[in-house]
Amino acid sequence: MTRRIVVRLLQAAAVLAVVATAVFVLLQFAPGDPFAAALDGTNVPPSVRMEWRARYGFDLPPAERFVRWIGALAHGELGYAASRHRPVADVVADAVPRTLLLVGVALALGFAAGILVGLVQARHHRRWPDRLLGALTLGGVAMPEFLLGLLAMTWLGARWRLFPVAGIASLGDTATWPAWERALDLLWHLALPAVVLAVGVAARVARHQRAALLGVLGEDYIRTARAKGLGEWRVLWHHALPNAIGPVLALLGLALPSLIGGAVLIERIFGWPGMGLTLFDALLARDYPLVLAAVLLATVVAVVARALTDVVAESVAPRRARIP
């Protein structure tokens, strides 16, 4: 077990190194610089621009900048986000919890709903609830998040005014509101983006959960459980589900990275000021230090999630570990 964790950590470190290098190299090919917004299109003489570039080290050869960046990174120094006029670390510290909230709620909602749908489908295998939900989950897998997001925003937000169309808090002096009211306001703003993100997760989880349950339902111990006189729901919940949850939990590690990717678009659409929106804006502003930090952070989360999932999957599936 310890050996496996060590191997996982080494793999994670290797992935991080490759991603860091690749992103840095790719950014060299991107046009523009962090001063584009401030200096482009104005009557700024080239000499001023050269001076700015020199002040922030953009005149150095890429190799040297890479070494400097890695060196700073090793000291925990993420640099200055010119587009925000703040240190990168501060921007990230503000944005990360918001994304974690969004992604965490979407993940929890998606898995809970997906497992439930999978259970219902397996319970009514090949009858109409199975077929109806199967069609819906297929649609859920196929539906692009941004499209669903725009539809939800248009109808639930703009037309019917059930939810706010964007942002993380209501306008006005919310700082003076009582805590519970602010929490409710946050949840109200969270609802649409979180549910939209959760739909894709739920659809994938449901399809895996259904398949895994149907595989297990043919086993002899399910027949034993039915012969005991257990009801069908108890058979599903107590005997089939624990034996069929493994492949679905393994999906957690895959869902998290794709959710973070999805969050970039969803945060942009719903104006949710998390890491996704930060990355999006940083890219447009050519704010390289912020882009690099955001991508690296996402990579860390993805790699760690993946490694954790494998470790967890092994510990919840004692058969795989203990029986050769």
Partner 1 sequence: MTALLDIRDLVVDYGAGNAHPAAVDGVSLTIARGETLALVGESGSGKTSVGRAILRLVEPAAGTMRFDGTDISTLAGDALRRFRRRAQVVFQDPKASLDPRMRVGDIVREGIAIHRLASHAKGDLRVTHLLEEVGLSAADVGRFPHEFSGGERQRIAIARALAVEPEFLVLDEAVSALDVLVRRQVLELLARLQAARGLTYLFIAHDLAAVERIATRVAVMHAGRIVETAETATLFSAPASPEAQALLAAIPKIPW
Binding site for partner 1 (CB under 8 A): 219-221, 223-231, 234, 238-239, 242-243, 318-319, 322-323
* Phi, then psi, of 86 in degrees rounded to 5: -145, 160
Smaller CB separation from partner 1, 173 or 220: 220
Residue holding tokens 């109808």? 155
**Kind and range of the H or E element at 200?**
helix 179-217
Helix (H, G, I), strand (E, B) or coil at 87: strand
**Kind and range of the H or E element at 81?**
strand 80-81
Q: How far is the CB of 8 from partner 1 (least distance, A)?
A: 25
Q: How far is the CB of 251 from partner 1 (least distance, A)?
A: 19
CA-CA distances (angstroms) from residue 321 to 12, 14, 248, 318? 22, 26, 18, 5
What one-character DSSP code corresponds to residue 237? I
Smaller CB separation from partner 1, 117 or 222: 222
Q: How far is the CB of 66 from partner 1 (least distance, A)?
A: 50
Smaller CB separation from partner 1, 240 or 263: 240
Q: In whole angstroms, give the CA distance from residue 58 to residue 280.
A: 22
Region at 272 (left for phi over 0; alpha for psi -120 to 50; beta for the rest) = beta
Q: How far is the CB of 318 from partner 1 (least distance, A)?
A: 7
Number of neighbours of residue 147 by Cβ within 10 angstroms: 11
Q: How far is the CB of 219 from partner 1 (least distance, A)?
A: 6
Q: Residues 295-308, buried b or exposed e (16+ Cβ, 10 A)?
A: bbbbbebbbbbbbe
Q: How far is the CB of 231 from partner 1 (least distance, A)?
A: 8
Q: How far is the CB of 250 from partner 1 (least distance, A)?
A: 16
Q: Tokens standing for 271? A: 């104006």
Region at 31 (left for phi over 0; alpha for psi -120 to 50; beta for the rest) = beta
What one-character DSSP code corresponds to residue 119? H
Smaller CB separation from partner 1, 161 or 319: 319
Rg (CA), the chain: 24
Smaller CB separation from partner 1, 68 or 126: 126
Smaller CB separation from partner 1, 155 or 221: 221
Smaller CB separation from partner 1, 22 or 321: 321
Beta strand 86-87 with 80-81 is antiparallel
